[in-house]
């Protein structure tokens, strides 16, 4: 084999290696989600919108509505909130107090361009006081269970919106797929406004299913113990549908989380839910009303009004419904995923090895392919061994650099942190260590799965990387702990950086395709202010973080030399 031939072959192999490497990078890169054109087109921006909720922010469905509204409004639109809190307080006195407060508020602030009304009580309130409080203001309702109320309201040229149409029929059909020998369908209801409206809708389907006995558990007429007993007593040949449970006869008020917890703990059959809350936390799910999409669509209507569209031309819509199922609940009751309708969103779905590691497998295969070609090149180009050795030395340096970075998040790891901090302290350069721990990280793994936990870690790391500067470097310390070196101990710089670190938890995280609230606790210690010892500096930051954990989490604290010892 001549020297010229070997040189040509070497060049061809090198070109092939480069092409394969670039192809690997392109194929492994993430693809940004495309926004549908109909949603990408923005209506007018700006304006003032008021959201009046029938309930309080503590209800998960209200939080989902608000997320949808915020995403549906223009960036420059001002959004204000008022909460009637009728789940806890539903008396004439509470209604008058709310009226008086709202009347005063409306008299003091600039007029609103549109008002969004969440759920039945807010719509009833708006209709009752339309002339005194909302005269001439376009009203857009969403989450309305009482269809007759909604249709009568929509007859007004200044009112439109969305009906919350819970699909009893689709969920009974789903229940019959899950329990083929079902003899009963049992609804969990109460005597609230929502409960009364959905009770009528539930029993309206009774004639369509002559083979099923329709019955209910009315929590408003049962004690707490009787509610638990009734739910536990639902037989395994029954379809159990949770619609609403806000109270019992003893006066106990149930939050949505408390209702979900009770049902998931006590029920002996899978619990079908027709709204988003509780799915992934023990309830099976079903054909659900998307509260997020309802809020989003109502907000788009408001933006159309602000943009100049006549509200009288906007037809009333039905709520956007989708199938959402928790695979873990199916597994608990020994039910196959094959009975679930096509296109359903599946939570906690079991994943294969390839699915769990697809982000690592692609680059790994590309790397193996490159190494193979390098070896092949070495065989055909023995005379250029020195050049190859140089390339291998460069590869060694790359691998050495990789050993100092966290594989999951891509940021420097604990080894790199210790190395950098040692250099600073040996040089006697003032610096600050900020240790951060994700609050209730175990709960994320337990309720959403370890994939969601990994997503939370990567998103925290990504937000920390955005803070990185010439004097600030983030590291992954261990598990769900991150640590930051700030090359300064000046109080103003340290305090400003601490507030910036806390702000990385201000925006929602995306876990398993859904928005989620993630919080973190931060402990701060400075060299040489708090200690001259490297190991002790880390302990001081950890102690400060522990104090935040004890004091309620989701905050930051500076190390205090006179702090009390930890309790066992």
Query: Is residue 85 a contact partner of residue 55, using CB atoms and an 8 Å limit?
Result: yes
Let me know if the fold of 168-290+322-347 is the same as that of 414-558: no
Counting residues of the chain whose pLDDT is more than 70, the rounded percentage is 90
CATH superfamily of 414-558: Reverse transcriptase/Diguanylate cyclase domain (3.30.70.270)
Residue 238 — left, alpha, or beta (φ > 0 → left; ψ -120 to 50 → alpha)?
Answer: beta
Question: Does pLDDT of 98 surpass 50?
Answer: yes
pLDDT (mean) for 152-166: 91
Half-sphere exposure of 427 (CA within 13 A, CB side): 10
- Residue 562: which pLDDT band, with cuts at 50, 70 and 90? low
Average per-residue pLDDT in the chain?
Answer: 87
pLDDT of residue 22: 53
Contact 409, 453 (CB under 8 A): no
Across the strands, what pairs with 286? 324
Distances (CA, A) of 175 to 165, 178, 399: 18, 5, 55
Parallel/antiparallel/unpaired status of strands 184-189 and 238-242: parallel
pLDDT digits (tens, 9 = 90+) for 355-409: 667 777 778 778 888 888 888 877 777 777 777 777 777 777 777 777 889 999 9
CA distance 561 to 540: 8
Instruction: Name the CATH superfamily, with its identifier, for domain 39-164+293-317.
Output: Response regulator (3.40.50.2300)
Task: List pLDDT tens digits, range 114-135.
Answer: 999 999 999 999 999 999 999 9
Q: Give the pLDDT confidence of 169-195 residue by residue, as tens digits.
A: 889 999 999 999 999 999 999 998 888
DSSP helix/strand/coil, 340: coil
Question: How far is the CA of 66 from the CAs of 59, 80, 257, 305, 552, in angstroms?
Answer: 11, 11, 18, 19, 25
**pLDDT value, residue 197:** 85
| The predicted structure's pLDDT at residue 397 | 75
Confidence class for position 29, pLDDT limits 50, 70, 90: very low
Domain chopping of the chain, boundaries: 1-30+354-402, 39-164+293-317, 168-290+322-347, 414-558
Comparing 34 with 6, which gets the higher pLDDT? 6
pLDDT tens-digit readout, 430-472: 999 999 999 999 999 999 999 999 999 999 999 999 999 999 9
Q: How far apart are CA 500 and CA 505, in angstroms?
A: 10
374 CB neighbour count, 10 Å cutoff: 16
Place of tokens 């302290």: 425
Q: Phi and psi dihedrals of 521, rounded to 5?
A: -115, 140
Predicted confidence (pLDDT) at residue 52 exceeds the cutoff of 70: yes
Instruction: Place 105 in a pLDDT band, splitting at 50, 70 and 90.
Output: very high
Question: What is the pLDDT, as a whole number, of residue 34?
Answer: 39
Identify the architecture of domain 168-290+322-347 in CATH: 3-Layer(aba) Sandwich (3.40)
Per-residue model confidence (pLDDT) at position 554 = 92
Do 523 and 539 form a contact (C-beta atoms < 8 A)?
Answer: no
């Amino acid at each position: 084999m001549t020297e010229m031939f070997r040189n040509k072959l070497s060049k061809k192999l090198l070109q092939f290696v480069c092409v394969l490497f670039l192809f690997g990078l392109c194929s492994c890169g993430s693809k940004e989600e495309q926004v549908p054109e109909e949603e990408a087109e923005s209506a007018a921006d700006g304006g003032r919108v008021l959201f009046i909720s029938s309930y309080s922010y503590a209800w998960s469905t209200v939080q989902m509505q608000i997320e949808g509204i915020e995403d549906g409004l223009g960036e420059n639109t001002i959004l204000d909130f008022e909460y009637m809190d009728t789940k806890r307080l539903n008396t004439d006195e509470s209604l008058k107090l709310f009226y008086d407060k709202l009347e005063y508020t409306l008299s003091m602030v600039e007029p609103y361009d549109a008002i969004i009304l969440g759920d039945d009580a807010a719509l009833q309130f708006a209709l009752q006081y339309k002339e005194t409080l909302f005269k001439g203001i376009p009203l857009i309702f969403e989450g309305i269970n009482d269809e007759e109320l909604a249709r009568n309201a929509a007859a007004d040229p200044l009112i439109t919106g969305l009906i919350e149409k819970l699909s009893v029929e689709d969920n009974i059909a789903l229940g019959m797929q899950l329990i083929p020998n079902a003899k009963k369908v049992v609804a969990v209801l109460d005597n609230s406004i929502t409960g009364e409206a959905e009770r009528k809708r539930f029993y309206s389907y009774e004639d369509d299913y002559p083979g099923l006995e329709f019955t209910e558990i009315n929590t408003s007429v049962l004690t707490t113990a009787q509610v638990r007993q009734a739910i536990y007593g639902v037989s395994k040949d029954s379809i159990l549908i949770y619609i609403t449970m806000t109270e019992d006869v003893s006066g106990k008020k149930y939050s949505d989380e408390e209702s979900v917890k009770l049902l998931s703990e006590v029920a002996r059959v899978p619990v079908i839910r027709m709204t988003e809350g509780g799915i992934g936390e023990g309830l099976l799910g079903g054909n659900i009303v998307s509260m997020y999409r309802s809020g989003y669509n109502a907000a788009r209507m408001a933006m159309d009004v602000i943009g100049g569209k006549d509200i009288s031309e906007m037809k009333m819509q039905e709520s956007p419904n989708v199938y959402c199922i928790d695979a873990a609940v199916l597994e608990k009751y020994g039910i196959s995923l094959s009975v679930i309708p096509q296109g359903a969103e599946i939570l906690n779905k079991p994943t294969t090895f390839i699915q769990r590691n697809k982000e690592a497998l692609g680059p790994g295969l590309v790397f193996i392919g490159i190494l193979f070609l390098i070896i092949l090149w070495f065989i055909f180009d023995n005379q250029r061994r020195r050049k190859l050795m140089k390339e291998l030395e460069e590869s060694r340096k790359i691998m050495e650099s990789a050993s100092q970075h966290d594989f999951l998040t891509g940021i420097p790891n604990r080894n790199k942190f210790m190395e950098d901090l040692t250099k600073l302290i040996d040089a006697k350069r003032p610096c600050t260590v900020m240790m951060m721990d994700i609050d209730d990280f175990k709960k994320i793994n337990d309720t959403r799965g370890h994939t969601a936990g990994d997503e939370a870690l990567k998103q925290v790391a990504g937000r920390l990387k955005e803070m990185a500067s010439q004097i600030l470097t983030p590291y992954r310390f261990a598990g769900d702990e991150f640590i930051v070196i700030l090359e300064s101990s000046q109080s103003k710089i340290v305090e400003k950086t601490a507030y910036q670190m806390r702000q990385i938890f201000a925006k929602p995280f995306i876990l398993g395709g859904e928005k989620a609230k993630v919080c973190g606790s931060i402990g701060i210690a400075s060299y040489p202010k708090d200690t001259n010892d490297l190991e002790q500096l880390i302990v001081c930051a950890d102690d400060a973080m522990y104090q935040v954990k004890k004091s309620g989490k989701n905050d930051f604290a500076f190390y205090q030399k006179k702090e009390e010892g930890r309790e066992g």
